Structure 1
Amino acid sequence: MTQFNEYHLDPQQFPFLQILQQHWQAIRDEFTTFKHHASEAELQFADAVMGPKSKTVKTKGNAKYSAFGVLFQGLLIENYIHTHHIEYPQYAGQHVPEKALQLRVKYFSKLSEAIESTNLRNKHILRNVYFGTFHPGLDVKLHVNYNPHMNRGYLGLIVPQGDVAMKICHEKLYWYEGEFLVLDHSYPHCPHNYTEYERTVLVVDFFKPDQPRDEVLRMEQEFVEERMRENPYSLGVFGKSDKAPVEDFIKYGLSHQLEWDKALDA
């Protein structure tokens, strides 16, 4: 029987995730249709514009993590780009929010409907929703995601057999297709994919429902303003505060990560 704790949370605590979980196969099909049938220009646009970029979360070697999605800080991607006046030099002269809207409607209508239905019923509790893919050989540096106002759910879409896992504190946790893994990412963690296949999940950040909504909205606004000043292409998801302190390597028995983490910083 699964043992839950302060950082590995029981998905049953969050019934608003059920709409996304019930439609996981349709959401997976939209992802695979996009990856297999979108034009090269559409794939490049999604990678460049529709996904959060981090300057702090690093990977070992050449293996990469890729992400793109449809909701950021409670706004659909086209509205987020427009609201924050994000400029993309490679698309100068083009109406980027309109292109993002067209791509979202063309390929991700079911996902968008599930998000809007969930947020309509639950006071806009979902904040970020995007696809996250671990490419073969990925090994991510130990880090935190300092978002004390949110938890992060992972809905398994494409999960190969083998050693693809999340190390968080003292545990090694696994993703399963059609199921949510819910974590408090303010605890140090370092995921990896030691298989020869890609792993894709739907990343779902949501407000902690037991905290006052006015408080978490204020906190979100402060973090977004700071992160957008640091890096507008983070889409408010990642920031400088995501670096794990050295003490955590020792405290949580993850000191084996320290050497190559130091090498990445060299």
Structure 2
Amino acid sequence: MSSFNEYHLNPEEFPFLKTFQAKWQVIRDEFTRFNKQASEEELKFTYDVLGPKSKTIKTKSNCKYSAFGILFQGLFIEEYIQLHQIQYPDYGTDEAAQKALLLRKKYFPNLADLIEQVNLIEDSVIRNVYFGTFHPGLDIKLHVNYNPHMNRGYLGLIVPEGDIAMKICHDKLYWHEGEFMVLDHSYPHCPHNYTNYNRTVLVVDFFKTDKPREEVRQFEQEQVAERMQDNPYSLGVFGKSDQAQESDFIKYGLAHQLEWDKALSS
């Protein structure tokens, strides 16, 4: 049994997460149904448009991480696209928003209902909700997610046996189906998947409940404006401040990762 600390948090401290956990199989079923029944066009649109993209978080070799979601910064994806007037190479803003709305209603009605239930009761505490899949061989370089106003919950949906873990500071943590792992991602971390199977979780970012809500809202607004100006495809989730310091690589025994950059583009 892992012990909890300042960066590995006890899910029991956040009762609203139980709403998602109680329906984890329903959420998983919506995800698997989407991947089985969606057309090639729907799949391409979803992974091109509905997933947050990072310019700074790197993976070793060609191993992939894929993600897509329906809630960003407290707004359903179609509202977020319209608010920020995001332009895509293959879609205009209005077209992208309309497609996003149709996909959300078609494939993820239960997940959307759960989000609305929690945010109605908990003053919009849930900020981002998206599916994250680690493909076989994934090895992500040490980084931080500079979101001091939020914690990140991972609800295990599809977790095969084997070495699929999150290294955060000096701990190595494992996901489990139907359970939440809650982390403060402002601490250095690097996940990996050394198995031959995909691992999928539901990422649920939420405001830190021990801070004044108005304070964290203001910080989020300023941070998202900066991130969207730099990279509108980040959906406000990632930014330039996500890079770990060189001293962190040495401190946590990952100095070898500093050499990755030389080969990542080859």
Task: Give the structure-2-normalised TM-score.
Answer: 0.97
CA deviation map 1:184-205 (0-9, x unaligned): 0000001000100000000010
SS of 2:54's equivalent in the other structure is coil
The count of aligned residue pairs is 266
Gaps (5+ residues) in structure 2? none
- SS of the equivalent of 1:90 reads coil
CA contact (8 A) 2:81 2:93 kept: no
1:112 aligns with 112
Secondary structure of residue in 1 paired with 2:90: helix
1:258 to partner: Cα distance:
2.9
1:126 aligns to 2:126 (yes or no): yes
In structure 2, distance between residues paired with 1:194 and 1:40: 28
1:60 maps to 2:60? yes
**Are the structure 2 counterparts of residues 261 and 191 from structure 1 closer, same or farther at C-alpha, using a change threshold of 3 Å?**
farther
Aligned to 1:87: 87
- Answer yes or no: is the 8 Å Cα contact 1:169–1:253 preserved in 2: no
**Which AA in structure 2 matches 1:255?**
A
Is 1:200 matched up with 2:200? yes
- What value does the CA root-mean-square deviation take over the aligned residues? 1.4
Deviation at 1:221, TM superposition (A): 0.5
Q: Report the AA paired with residue 215 of structure 1.
A: E
Paired residues of 2:87 and 2:93 also in contact (CA < 8 A): no
User: In the alignment, what sits opposite 1:99?
Assistant: 99
**2-side partners of 1:89 and 1:249: how far apart?**
36
Opposite residue 223 of structure 2, the aligned amino acid is F
SS of the aligned residue for 1:200 comes to strand
Shift of 1:264: 3.7
Aligned equivalents of 1:205, 1:94: Cα separation in 2:
26
Contact kept, 8 Å, 2:158 with 2:199, in 1: the verdict is yes
User: How far off its partner does 1:96 sit?
Assistant: 1.4
Structure 2 Cα separation of the partners of residues 259 and 103 of structure 1: 41
| Residue of structure 1 in register with 2:217 after alignment | 217
Q: Tell me by how many angstroms 1:256 deviates.
A: 3.7
Cα drift, residue 108 of structure 1: 0.1
1:98 deviates by 1.1
SS of the residue corresponding to residue 196 of structure 1 reads coil
How far 1:262 sits from its partner (Å)? 5.4
Following superposition of structure 1 onto structure 2, how do residues 1-266 of structure 1 map, counting pairs within 5 Å?
A: 1-92=1-92, 95-261=95-261, 263-264=263-264
Q: Cα gap change, 1:162/1:93 in structure 2, threshold over 3 Å: closer, same or farther?
A: closer
Unaligned runs of 5+ in 1: none
The alpha-carbon distance between structure 1 residues 215 and 94, as it changes in their structure 2 partners (threshold 3 A), is closer
Distance (Å, rounded) in 2 between the aligned partners of 1:260 and 1:44: 29
Q: TM-score of the superposition, structure 1-length normalised?
A: 0.97
Residue pair 1:141, 1:261 contacting (<8 A) in 2 also:
no
Seq. identity, %: 70
Give the CA deviation at 1:250. Answer: 2.0
Whether contact under 8 Å (1:142, 1:261) holds in the other structure is no
SS of match in other structure, 2:16:
helix
Q: In the alignment, is the contact (CA less than 8 A) between 2:86 and 2:93 conserved in 1?
A: no
Where 2:102 maps in the other structure, the secondary structure is: helix
Q: For residues 262 and 211 of structure 1, do their structure 2 counterparts lie closer, same or farther at Cα, with a shift above 3 Å needed? A: farther
User: Runs of at least 4 residues of structure 1 off by over 6 A?
Assistant: none
> What amino acid maps onto 1:183 in structure 2?
L
